[in-house]
Structure 1
Amino acid sequence: MHNQGQDKYQQAFADLEPVSSTDGSFFGSSLQAQQQREHMRTKVLQELEKVNLRLKSAKTKVTIRESNGSLQLRATLPIKPGDTDKNGTGRKQYNISLNIPANLDGLKTAEEEAYELGKLIARHTFEWNDKYLGTEAIKKDFQTVGELLAKFEDEYFKTHKRTTKSEHTFFYYFSRTQRFTNSQDIATAENLLNAIEKIDKEWSKYNAARAIAAFCQTFKIEIDLSKYSKMPDRNSRNIPTDGEIATGIAKFAEYLHTRGNQVNQEVKDSWQLWRWTYGMLAVFGLRPRELFINPDIDWWLSQENIDLTWKVHKDCKTGERQALPLHKQWIEEFDLRNPKYLEMLVTAISKKDKNNHAEITALTQRVSWWFRKIGLDFKPYDLRHAWAIRAHILGIPIKAAADNLGHSVQVHTQTYQRWFSLDMRKLAINQALSKRDEVELIREENAKLKMENEKLKLEIEKLKMELVYKRS
């Protein structure tokens, strides 16, 4: 990765605080990307003003303008071959495109070109050649996908602030574009669309289109991907009940008796780390990555952590938050604050480059591997869905549940609550009916108490009357 302190693009992002988002969806990520592109464009336009002032001070009869993400030279020049001299002056103002991108590097190139053109004008030696007619720029367009992929990272981070989160996003785009395209193909919209069409699975096609959209946006390739913008229907999930979650955690220890004798001594206890991971996912509904990116272990084990919250780091998908547990008793039952397991977590992370998105991805994939290894019939993310459903059944407001999971209410309602099984719907309805019955019972008791109260009042009045009658 690049040294951020020496990168002029990252220095330009220094005063930008990306909009906070509790939406981990593609829409939420797109809003943040748009904000960063607009921020960089503002910086480029500010620098463009300075460049034009320098050109004016040097009496160079050339200015630079920005148009549709590219920089153009503007100058009054001899009539271009094939053009009409309407005013009869033999000269006309032209905007010359040299295929220079509107970024900080492009500004440097454009300024150099402006001085060069200015000298030609001053010496009356300007001629319309391939360079100024745009023929060279057209030739540059014929680059292969592989050639552009080699430049993808540098170009992408000219319009995005480099963080752990944005590096993970870039890795997603890069790896899928590389996987689903032919590096030898010319990078045209037609070839990229053909690559997407060759993909069989709908979800792979959708993910490839997202990645290729970012690739095309970076290199100003016009492409229409609206056909692939709709998220495919998800396959059915196996959302575990609370009972199945409690039973599932025991399978990690059972693995000891089924794995055989030939086990590497260095990893023979590693199942305990993945058992801990399982428990944390169940209790907090976390994304697996949120356990491995800069975990605040001191806070988790601290006596001050009276609410037993897990601090999700700001570099994670939807920023920082404190996640609250559901079923606090599981924290003790699953022994989740045992320092031994946290030491194992530190060791696992220290073996990896914690700032490398690929290494963090390897850890999250390891979690899925263990789920399959011990014979669980649900996946790590299913524990997150189970948390969302449990929160709904317990009557926790949707906004509170969504914030705790680190996403928007829209994502919560559209994605998570659709996984209600028949049994879980029955449980939710029965609990609601039970609450209604309790309310009815209380109302009946209140009515009885009111009647008894009225009777007592009548008795008191009767006794008062009798007392007055005796005295008289």
Structure 2
Amino acid sequence: MMKTPETLVKELNQRLKDGRVGVTIWLQPGRNKLYLRGNFPPKQGSPQTLPHRQALTLDLPANETGIKVAFNRAKEMGSQLTQGKFKWETHLPTEKTHSHQTIEAWVEKFEASYFGKRKRTPKTQTTWDGDYWMVYRTLTRSHVLTLDVLTTAALSSEPDTRTRQRFCMALGALARFAGLDPAPLTELRGNYGNASTMPRELPSDDQVIEGWQNLSHAPAWVRWSFGMMAAYGIRPHELFSLDLEDFLGGSDRVRVTGDTKTGQRLVLPLQREWVTLFQLRQIALPASNGKTNQARGEKISEGFKYWSVPYPPYHLRHAWAVRAIRVGLESSVAARMMGYSLTVHNRSYQKWSSEADLERAYQRVIGG
């Protein structure tokens, strides 16, 4: 029976491990391309001074022949490392440094390309600042752009965190734009998701009410922001982009306008009594401290921290989502009001349904 590429790689890697070669084969899931991994010396232009874990692209197909060639290459490189004879020039004769262009030059080109494909608006500027520039500004922009430099930057972030995923995404996009293979950065992404915020960390309804009451000495805008996020499940920056005309007329309906992350949508409270309890019709809009959604969101986060709210603003939004499950709001409706696709909403929150939630939903359908 013919072995799968995954099985063959696993067997040959065990032989490399038994032989203490120090280099292994890597077959990235979903890609028909082979890499070697090991603790190699830093490449030219790298800020690193000591050998560290790196990946080498082989440009070999992930078939039986390619894997066997990769196995021999791994043994050859392992021998060179042991004897102190390893040289990158031998294995990367065509290593691209793009005429030694700096990171700063590549970032400028990438930004121009990014906004060449989309209009620069507060929404797109927020995405650029939060998803890309926040990462690129940590780089030494005078360094030559190499995959080694980008990998080192990714490794500077904490594993299995949202920050690590953001670093790998942004650095991978820059690598791809510059013609470098982003696969080693993809490998470093790790595991992170909304599961990192568990329901037990979210405030219960009683804790939400207590949290608002504890803000009695806080500015009106902090209390109003807290109450609106708790009652309506909106994002922090969306507090600055609300259509409150119907709401001020006595309706519970609030609209998020179209200049936010997910465009215009209708939102409604799950606990209607909170509108009165939290005095939400006494509008106290926060003063914006910036034009971008990121800056506006930071304004709310800073207010929560200063007035000792025991959880970040987004926990109120997540709590709204879990509450929607427990009261039986249809997933497609909840997703629409939160500004998510149904797929994202279900992936993010449905796993938080308890057995009691499932039983209540079942009883609502069949009665009894």
Normalising by the smaller structure, the TM-score range is: 0.5 to 0.7
Within 5 A, what are the aligned runs for 1:64-79?
none
Question: What whole-Å deviation, never above 9, does each CA across 1:304-329 have from its counterpart, x for those lacking one?
Answer: x63x2221122211121111221111
**Residue identity opposite 2:344 in structure 1:** V
Asked whether the equivalents of residues 152 and 218 of structure 1 are also in contact (C-alpha less than 8 Å), the reply is yes
Task: Give the secondary-structure state (helix, strand or coil) at the position aligned to 1:202.
Answer: coil
Aligned to 2:269: 325
Say if 1:439 and 1:296 are closer, same or farther in 2 by CA, change over 3 A: closer
Distance across 2 between alignment mates of 1:297 and 1:272: 17
Equivalent position of 2:53 in the other structure: none
**1:241 matches 2:189:** no
Q: Per-residue deviation at 1:208? A: 0.4
Query: What's the offset of the Cα at 1:295?
Result: 2.9
Partner of 2:328, secondary structure, is coil
> For residues 412-423 of structure 1, what are the structure 2 equivalents within 5 Å?
412-419=345-352
State the distance in 2 between where 1:252 and 1:179 align.
36
Task: Give yes or no for the alignment of 1:273 onto 2:273.
Answer: no
Q: Which amino acid aligns with 2:338?
A: L
Distance in 2, matches of 1:194 and 1:157, equals 27
In the alignment, structure 1 residue 296 sits paired with structure 2 residue 243 = yes
Amino acid at match of 1:381: Y
Contact 1:295 1:311 in 2 (8 A): yes
Q: 1:239 to 1:418 in 2, by over 3 A?
A: farther
Aligned to 1:449: none
Q: CA deviation at 1:273?
A: 0.2
C-alpha contact (below 8 Å) 1:282/1:387 kept by paired residues = yes
Correspondences of 1:102-251 after superposition (within 5 Å): 141-203=99-161, 204-224=163-183, 225-229=185-189, 231-233=191-193, 234-237=195-198, 238-251=201-214
Question: How far apart, CA to CA, are the structure 2 residues paired with 1:300 and 1:145?
Answer: 49
Query: Could you state the TM-score of these two structures normalised by the residue count of structure 2?
Result: 0.64
Shift of 1:206: 1.2
Matched, 1:377 2:310: yes
Matched position secondary structure for 2:215: helix
**Cα separation, partners in 2 of 1:395 and 1:373, compared to 1, 3 Å:** same
The one-letter code matched in structure 1 to 2:171 is I
Which stretch of structure 1 is more off in the superposition, 273-282 or 169-178? 169-178
- The CA deviation at 1:413 is 1.8
Partner AA of 2:232 in structure 1: F
Distance 1:428 1:404 in 2: 20
For 2:340 and 2:158, the matched residues in 1 are separated by 30
Amino acid at match of 2:275: I
CA distance in 1, matches of 2:315, 2:233: 9
Identity %: 28
Whether the 8 Å CA contact 2:173–2:182 is kept in 1: the answer is no
Name the counterpart of 1:390. Answer: 323
| CA distance in structure 1 between the aligned counterparts of 2:258 and 2:204, rounded to whole angstroms | 31
Q: What's the CA shift for 1:214?
A: 2.9
Conserved? CA contact 1:311–1:322, under 8 Å? yes
The aligned residue for residue 332 of structure 2 is: 399
In 2: Cα distance, 1:165 partner to 1:146 partner: 24
Residue by residue over 1:90-136, the C-alpha shift from the partner in whole angstroms, topping out at 9 and shown as x without a partner, is xxxxxxxxxxxxxxxxxxxxxxxxxxxxxxxxxxxxxxxxxxxxxxx
**8 Å Cα contact 1:202/1:232 also seen in 2:** yes
CA 1:250–1:159 in 2, change beyond 3 Å: closer, same or farther?
A: same
Shift of 1:170: 1.1
Distance in 1, Cα, partners of 2:97 & 2:319:
55
Tell me, which stretches of 5 or more residues in structure 1 are unaligned?
Answer: 1-137, 257-269, 441-472
> Which structure would you say has the larger RCO, counting Cα contacts within 8 Å and 6 or more residues apart?
1
What amino acid is aligned across from residue 364 of structure 1 in structure 2? Answer: G
**2:97, 2:159 → 1: CA distance?**
36
Letter in 2 for 1:235: S
Task: Give the residue type in structure 1 aligned to 2:214.
Answer: K
Contact 1:180 1:196 in 2 (8 A): no
Secondary structure of 2:337's partner?
Answer: helix
Alpha-carbon separation, structure 2, partners of 1:432 and 1:178: 47
Backbone CA RMSD of aligned residues: 2.8
Give the CA deviation at 1:207.
Answer: 0.9
Give the counterpart letter for 1:186 in structure 2.
Answer: V
1:170-216 deviation line (CA, Å, top 9, x unaligned): 11234333244222321122321232123334322211011123333
Secondary structure of the corresponding residue to residue 145 of structure 2: coil
* Equivalent pairs, count: 268
- CA drift of 1:249 comes to 0.3
Structure in which a larger fraction of residues adopt helix: 1
Post-superposition shift, 1:369?
A: 2.9
Cα distance in 2 between the residues matched to 1:399 and 1:205: 30
The 2-side partners of 1:164 and 1:231 are apart by 30
In the alignment, the residues of structure 1 paired with residue 101 and residue 246 of structure 2 have an alpha-carbon distance, to the nearest angstrom, of 51
CA distance in 1, matches of 2:178, 2:131: 13
- Deviation (angstroms), 1:330: 0.7
Letter in 2 for 1:334: F
CA distance in 2, matches of 1:161, 1:219: 22
Distance between the aligned counterparts of 2:367 and 2:214, measured in 1?
Answer: 42
The 1:375–1:419 alpha-carbon spacing in structure 2 relative to 1, beyond 3 Å, is farther
